[in-house]
Amino acid sequence: MTADQRYDIAIAGGGLAGLSLAKLLAGEGMRVLVLEKDNYPRHKVCGEYISNESRDFLERNGLLTKIDELPQINRFELSFHDGKKRSCQLEPGGFGISRWKLDAHLCEKARQQGADVNENALITGIEEDSEGFVLNTKSGQNFFAKRLIGATGRYSHRLFPSKADQIAGKGKWFGVKYHLECDFPEDTIQINLFDGGYAGISRIEDGKYCFCYLASAKWLKKYSGDLERIEQNVLGQNPVIKKHLVESKVLEGPVTTARFNFIYRTAVQSPVLYLGDTAGFIPPLTGNGMSLAFRSAAVAADLITDHFNGKKSWESVETGLTKYGDQYLGRRIRSGVFLQNLALHPSTFFRQTLATGMFVFPPLLKKLSKKATGKNF
């Protein structure tokens, strides 16, 4: 293996967590490799809303600047199954940007910092020895790295298994995303409930809106995967969603993803570190999955930098990331699952009671929305 194929750190997966970490570690003088199975730019199923909890991190590290020029979102609106709506100020708020634009931007930032980002590099096998890891790719190229980071997203079980996947079983959800041209307030993120799922809409760059929905896999089976019928017969039962579907112009999409669960997997499968959705996948109802990806990169970057500077053993790195995963990420995911179960409760009586409670006690909606966010980092 040639010298230019040997790295200090290899990151499997070039999403938000992987690219951010690559940029940070390369900036500390490490030789960093990112292997991404797709290419940039690309569309991904995502709500495309970033909570302001990660704004300081992005600006401080030069990952994303001129955030003020992106759509600023500071109101939250919830519509119930019957179309009745309730809204409140969104704290700490956030901003919108598409994954098409953001991932390509982060790739450029990582490369400018000196990281090697290989696109269309599907990893077919990983071999571990006493010195590190050999990564085999579909193209036939092999790479060596002293340390390996798993950041391949929610479908990581092939390369980076976890016992949590076996416990969770077959994926129970599917997701769909469109980019729309529509008439909707640019400062608002709206969540709309329907039987077995919810749909969100918010502004992104260039005057577009991201319309993304999560639904129970039972609808795929009932309607033989026909999205048009699912949207008409299931989502359309909520008058607010029906209005979006009927009156909006589709610019891009549908982009789809299926068969996944919302679980905390693990942050460390020694000696490999897991980041982003590889460590755990939070329900999109919280609107903070993107921020959690950035947060995991921030935590891992500090630990790994200390290791390569001789301040920490690798065991201490694993201990630190395990603590973050078990005590913070796991808690955030459990909180997100609680909120999702609350919103999608199968009992009509319970849903009506919840809706009535939010109309009678307006602060309840604000309290629930704040439960999904974390502190700045």
Q: For 226-250, what is each residue's pLDDT tens digit?
A: 999 999 999 999 999 999 999 999 9
- Amino acid identity of residue 331, one-letter, is R
- Residue 115 — very low, low, confident or very high, per pLDDT cuts 50/70/90? very high
Can you give the pTM of this predicted structure?
Answer: 0.95
**How many angstroms separate the CA atoms of 3 and 91, rounded?**
49
Q: What is the mean pLDDT of residues 219-229?
A: 97
Give the tens place of pLDDT for each residue, 70-106: 999 999 999 999 999 999 999 899 999 999 999 999 9
β-pair partners for 72: 95
The first and second tokens of residue 259, run together, are: 């068969």
Helix (H, G, I), strand (E, B) or coil at 20: helix
**Domains of the chain, each with CATH number or no CATH:** 3-43+97-168+262-339 (3.50.50.60), 74-96+170-260+343-370 (3.30.9.10)
CA proximity to 344, closest of 221, 166, 253, 214? 214
Beta bridge partners of 149: 11, 273
User: Residue 356 pLDDT > 80, yes or no?
Assistant: no
Tokens of 300: 């891992």
Tokens for 46? 């995502």
Instruction: State the virtual CA torsion across 155, 156, 158, 162 in degrees, nearest 10.
Output: -120
Round to whole Å and give the CA distance between 193 and 37. 34
- Report the alpha-carbon distance of residue 372 to residue 377 in Å, rounded: 15
